[in-house]
Structure 1
């Protein structure tokens, strides 16, 4: 049944940042599914060209003018925000959505954005608005793994999560990674997010494709997994060669330089000129292994694994699955993580996902 045929899904909704790599992919898939989002962003040429091609409404505006932003959001029941770096764009869009009574979704993986969203819980409840950042690869699969492990080991005190992906970066993801390197590592310890060195912990992990050397990264689950599970100690890992880990640890010595505004601008400008996201053929050939491990005070341990589609394909499917849910359902307002909003089976319901196994 198409959106036009179903009165429940007549809510007008918007993809902001549809001119970006992932935003455009989501827009194209939405149209294939019979959905009719409004396409919006700051790049007039790219937004209007894509909207004409897809037969959709286009809106062009930035996020720096609060009054104009609110006027553009009003009348929409939902915004899927795809314009990063979310450290700069998420807060004004969340505020506009709350004031316009529009649900807010995004595809961030940034810890600070997740924490800001949690600070808006009371406003979201009062407005009857759902705020759910991280409805892409950041952080649907790891959030569902965390929820499954909490269910399997309710008294867990320590949670480790991770993923093994061969996917190349999109320009937006690469720029966010440059910001993250300047900020250093992050883990959750005794319920608090604390700053640590890059590659703070190193261990060997079988993510699902054989045991590999792995290091900690400041992934979004340092925030979200705690809000999903209440487990107070959380670390997130990715595989890395010995050389990659040495490089990350050496970067700790130049982090103050990486944080300088002109260095950030220089690195991001280079990324904009040189980084191109993976094409459809590469995405189809780049599945991802997702892993998690929970331990309790008695030393009992549970391990979970699930194999998913490529990180960008999963982001497309995940974002539109949550959009479709909010077009048809009316959950209570508040700030959610993906697993809290839609349950632990969200990841396995997505195309390309296998069974989530807990051992």
Structure 2
């Protein structure tokens, strides 16, 4: 029997990309949840008989619990995660359902880590921060660092403008990240940094070339252990 995967926020840019990968590389059957039925059904059409849409708002705890209890794995793509709580993760733990999210904000990461003991006790595999950053970027850094005798510094810069297809949630996350100063690990100490400051020019591969980058707060230095 194929695994049953519930993708929260599955009709968005990131969630639909996750669904497409699962369709290509696994035999999983997917429930695509969201609040926009038209978008959700478009995603399901691309999944053929392996996808169905579920209209679901995360504030509907009863509906959320019912959907989670019927899944083998929940993939939480319903950002922005700046103000999300751990309700989804807690319900997964209560119903012994494995969990994964694409969160990208330190405040959410700390909340998720606080659930580590209960997840372990319940035998639930729960993995946080698996998006492009800090998920994939952290994995890239670790792979490179392990090939060196010693790493003196780690510098991460991203060029994403013009990549196309950014949804509303991606834009909201970007602007939320510009609102408040954040803590960054600089020269061996935590320091407060103003977002969108200290412009630096980086030489990226084509088609970007020389592009200006700025400070942006991410969860890179908080190791997800849940």
Q: Same fold (TM over 0.5)?
A: yes
- C-alpha distance in structure 2 between counterparts of 1:187 and 1:99, whole Å: 34
C-alpha deviations, 1:55-79, integer Å up to 9, x for none? 3333322222334322221131211
Higher fraction of helix: 1
Summarize the alignment of residues 132-147 of structure 1 with structure 2, pairs less than 5 Å apart.
132-147=127-142
Kindly state the Cα deviation for residue 181 of structure 1 after the two structures are TM-superposed.
1.0
- Find the counterpart in structure 2 of residue 215 from structure 1: 214
- C-alpha distance in structure 2 between counterparts of 1:214 and 1:45, whole Å: 36
Structure 1 residues 60 and 150: CA distance shift in structure 2, 3 A: same
Scaled by the length of structure 1, what TM-score is found? Answer: 0.52
Structure 1 residues 97 and 87: CA distance shift in structure 2, 3 A: farther
Kindly state the Cα deviation for residue 193 of structure 1 after the two structures are TM-superposed.
5.5
SS at match of 1:115: helix
Counterpart pick for 2:179 among 177, 182, 194 = 182
SS at match of 1:173: helix
Structure 2 unaligned residues grouped into runs of 5+ = none
Scaled by the length of structure 2, what TM-score is found? Answer: 0.78
Kindly state the Cα deviation for residue 18 of structure 1 after the two structures are TM-superposed.
1.7
C-alpha deviations, 1:285-331, integer Å up to 9, x for none? xxxxxxxxxxxxxxxxxxxxxxxxxxxxxxxxxxxxxxxxxxxxxxx
Counterpart pick for 2:59 among 61, 64, 81 = 64
- Find the counterpart in structure 2 of residue 38 from structure 1: 31
- C-alpha distance in structure 1 between counterparts of 2:34 and 2:190, whole Å: 33
- Find the counterpart in structure 1 of residue 6 from structure 2: 14
Structure 1 residues 63 and 192: CA distance shift in structure 2, 3 A: farther
Give the total of aligned pairs. 219
The higher radius of gyration belongs to: 1
* Root-mean-square deviation (Å): 3.0
Contact 2:159 2:213 in 1 (8 A): no
- C-alpha distance in structure 1 between counterparts of 2:213 and 2:9, whole Å: 33
Alignment pair present for 1:198 and 2:191: no
Contact 2:92 2:98 in 1 (8 A): yes
Report 1 or 2 for greater relative contact order, CA contacts < 8 Å, sequence distance ≥ 6: 1
Counterpart pick for 1:83 among 78, 81, 105 = 78
Counterpart pick for 1:119 among 114, 119, 136 = 114
